[in-house]
């Protein structure tokens, strides 16, 4: 049975900041943010945008642009670490806004940046079990990454949502569910206590946790691949991938992950100055870097980061990669991780033309660092009852769905669909 991604799109909030301007304001060499971390711009949510409005905007765009019948969807899962309620899931708001059928499962999944991948795994198994009976699953990754002003994590913030339709008609990407590899271990590398809007991270330790999880998950993938195909583990299974996608908390992290991947393949540590390092950089430039352009301009969108990179690949390289396998690595701090793969479908190149990432990014407005700092301060208040900071006219934001604040302890949304 075939299963995979039939449709994909993304949404970002109205505003962004320029990373050079942010670095200058912080008294840091801009080269650190732009080259050291690989980030050029960073999307910023206003107090009228939350993970419901981002998820709903991405979902609406998917339904409209791909002409999807809402009644064909019988499962909606929203992956997020940026919940808006301790009990009520984002999916229930999105289910209403998208006018989905009541004969539908709707829930939210949390595991840091892994949530949407868990949603995809659930959807894949549901479809493969044949209990979906031709119905489809909508999986939406929606997050607002916040560490706060003047923190080491500040240049690795971002906001956005990626919506994907998972079905037995994988017109864009067909999964290879027999070869997955996963890894879990309790580590305190990144977390967000329930009293805090801002995440805490043990930054450098989190990089090591990510790389260790990558090595372990990839090792399990190789075992599964070998048991299916009877190949020796030492054979270069990795060379079957025409492109490699990673979770992207910041662009340079994908480069570190791809170096780890290359070291595993070659069975040795690679360092700058070695001839192998130059060929690794060449490989990175052709198989990974072209898929990181959107991540460099949107910032970290946590659970959606890997899938933003996938959108980038499908939009830019579908024709070249048609029929070829690509790898994907999803990492959720805390931690759990998954290495999986898929085949780019020949139909992808025509279908993806419906959506232009440039158009989506061009609709954003660049704001000054002073305005960004004000947005951060006021967004911190936006969830309080009667806070009165989420007036769209006040911030000059518009969109199909906006958050209007919490009144009578109920979140209020405006819809102009
Ligand atoms: N010019 C060019 N490059 C420069 C530079 C300059 N003037 N100054 C520094 N750099 C380089 C550094 O050499 C470094 O590159 P390498 O890692 O390749 O050596 C890079 O810029 C970053 O410099 P630092 O390591 O000194 O930066 P930092 O200590 O301020 O923090 C960070 C970096 C740890 C990533 C921090 O931003 C952070 O804590 N971010 C949040 C946590 C995170 O994203 N973790 C990733 C793994 S966990 C995960 O993936 C889950 C998730 O989404 C959060």
Return d(Cα 95, Cα 93) in angstroms, integer: 5
Return d(Cα 128, Cα 284) in angstroms, integer: 34
Per-residue pLDDT band at 240 (split at 50, 70, 90): very high
Strand order across the beta sheet in which 365-366 lies: 41-44, 15-18, 365-366
Active site residue 95: no
Burial class (CB in 10 A: 0-12, 13-18, 19+), 134: exposed
Residue 16 clears pLDDT 90, i.e. is over it: yes
Residue 128 pLDDT: 98
Per-residue pLDDT band at 231 (split at 50, 70, 90): confident
| Bond into 260 cis (ω within 30) | no
Residue 312 pLDDT: 98
Per-residue pLDDT band at 178 (split at 50, 70, 90): very high
Q: Do residues 307 and 162 make contact, with C-beta atoms less than 8 angstroms apart?
A: yes
Per-residue pLDDT band at 234 (split at 50, 70, 90): low
N- to C-terminal Cα separation, the chain = 36
List, as one string, the DSSP characters of 49-65.
--HHHHHHHHHHHHHHH
Residue 51 pLDDT: 98
CA distance readout (Å), 217 to 53, 210, 284, 346: 33, 10, 20, 28
**Gap from CA of 315 to ligand 1 centroid (Å):** 28
Per-residue pLDDT band at 237 (split at 50, 70, 90): confident
Return d(Cα 351, Cα 343) in angstroms, integer: 15
Residue 233 clears pLDDT 70, i.e. is over it: no
Per-residue pLDDT band at 228 (split at 50, 70, 90): confident
Question: Which residue in 247, 258, 315, 335 is the catalytic one?
Answer: 247
Q: How many residues does the chain have?
A: 417
Atom of ligand 1 nearest to the CA of 154: 37
Burial class (CB in 10 A: 0-12, 13-18, 19+), 26: middle
CA distance readout (Å), 312 to 12, 156, 315: 14, 19, 5
Residues 6+ apart with CB under 8 A from 316: 290, 291, 293
Active site residue 409: no
Tokens of 413: 């949304």
Q: Note the pLDDT tens digit of each residue in 52-92.
A: 999 999 999 999 999 999 999 999 999 999 999 999 999 99
Phi-psi region of 81 (alpha: psi -120 to 50; beta: other; left: phi over 0): alpha
Rounded mean pLDDT of 392-410?
A: 95
Burial class (CB in 10 A: 0-12, 13-18, 19+), 399: buried
Residue 315 clears pLDDT 90, i.e. is over it: yes
Residue 238 pLDDT: 85
Rounded mean pLDDT of 194-217?
A: 97
Question: Which residue in 6, 41, 111, 113 is the catalytic one?
Answer: 113
Residue 229 pLDDT: 85
In the block, residue with structure tokens 């899931």: 89
Return d(Cα 243, Cα 313) in angstroms, integer: 9
Q: Note the pLDDT tens digit of each residue in 32-59.
A: 999 999 999 999 999 999 999 999 999 9
Residue 236 pLDDT: 73
Average pLDDT taken over every residue of the chain: 96
Residue having the nearest C-alpha atom to atom 12 of ligand 1: 36
Tokens of 245: 């996608």
List, as one string, the DSSP characters of 347-374.
THHHHGGG--HHHHHHTSEE--HHHHHH
Active site residue 359: no
Q: Note the pLDDT tens digit of each residue in 142-152.
A: 999 999 999 99
Rounded mean pLDDT of 289-314?
A: 98
Return d(Cα 330, Cα 220) in angstroms, integer: 14
Q: Which residues line ligand 1 (CB under 6 A)?
A: 29, 31-32, 35-37, 113, 152-153, 155-156, 189-190, 201, 203-204, 206-207, 210, 247, 249-250, 252-253, 300, 302, 331, 333
Does the model's pTM come out above 0.85?
Answer: yes
Q: What percent of the chain has pLDDT over 70?
A: 99
């Amino acid at each position: 049975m075939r299963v995979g991604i039939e449709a994909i799109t993304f949404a970002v909030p109205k505003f962004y900041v320029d990373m050079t301007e942010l670095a200058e304001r912080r008294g840091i060499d801009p080269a650190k943010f732009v080259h050291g971390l690989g980030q050029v711009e960073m999307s910023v949510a206003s107090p009228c945008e939350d993970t419901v409005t981002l998820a709903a905007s991405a979902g609406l765009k998917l339904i409209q642009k791909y002409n999807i019948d809402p009644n064909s969807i019988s499962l909606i899962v929203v992956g997020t670490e940026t919940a808006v309620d301790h009990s009520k899931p984002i999916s229930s708001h999105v289910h209403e806004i998208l006018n989905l059928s009541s004969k539908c499962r709707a829930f939210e999944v949390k595991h840091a940046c892994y949530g949407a991948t868990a949603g995809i795994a659930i959807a894949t198994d549901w479809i493969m079990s044949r209990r979906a009976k031709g119905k489809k699953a909508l999986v939406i990754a929606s997050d607002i990454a916040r560490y706060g002003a003047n923190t080491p994590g500040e240049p690795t913030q971002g906001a956005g949502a990626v919506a994907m339709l998972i079905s037995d008609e994988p017109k864009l990407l067909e999964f290879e569910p027999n070869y997955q590899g996963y890894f879990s271990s309790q580590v305190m590398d990144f977390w967000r206590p329930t009293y805090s809007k801002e995440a805490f991270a043990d930054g450098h330790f989190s990089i090591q946790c990510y790389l260790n999880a990558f090595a372990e998950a990839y090792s399990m993938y190789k075992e599964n691949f070998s048991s299916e195909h009877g190949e020796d583990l030492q054979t270069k299974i990795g060379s079957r991938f025409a492109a490699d996608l990673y979770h992207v908390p910041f662009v340079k992290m994908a480069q570190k992950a791809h170096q780890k991947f290359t070291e595993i393949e070659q069975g040795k540590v690679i360092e700058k100055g070695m001839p192998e390092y130059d060929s690794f950089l060449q490989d990175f430039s052709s198989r990974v870097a072209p898929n990181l352009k959107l991540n460099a301009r949107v910032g970290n969108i946590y659970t959606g980061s890997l899938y933003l990179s996938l959108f980038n690949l499908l939009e830019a390289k579908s024709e070249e990669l048609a029929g070829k396998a690509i790898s994907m690595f999803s990492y959720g701090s805390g931690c759990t991780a998954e290495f999986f793969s898929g085949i780019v479908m020949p139909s992808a190149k025509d279908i993806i033309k419906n959506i232009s990432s440039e158009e989506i990014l061009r609709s954003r407005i660049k704001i000054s660092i002073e305005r960004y700092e004000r947005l951060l301060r006021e967004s911190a208040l936006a969830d309080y009852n009667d806070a009165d900071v989420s007036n769209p006219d006040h911030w000059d934001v518009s969109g199909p769905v906006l958050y209007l604040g919490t009144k009578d302890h109920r979140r209020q949304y405006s819809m102009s669909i």
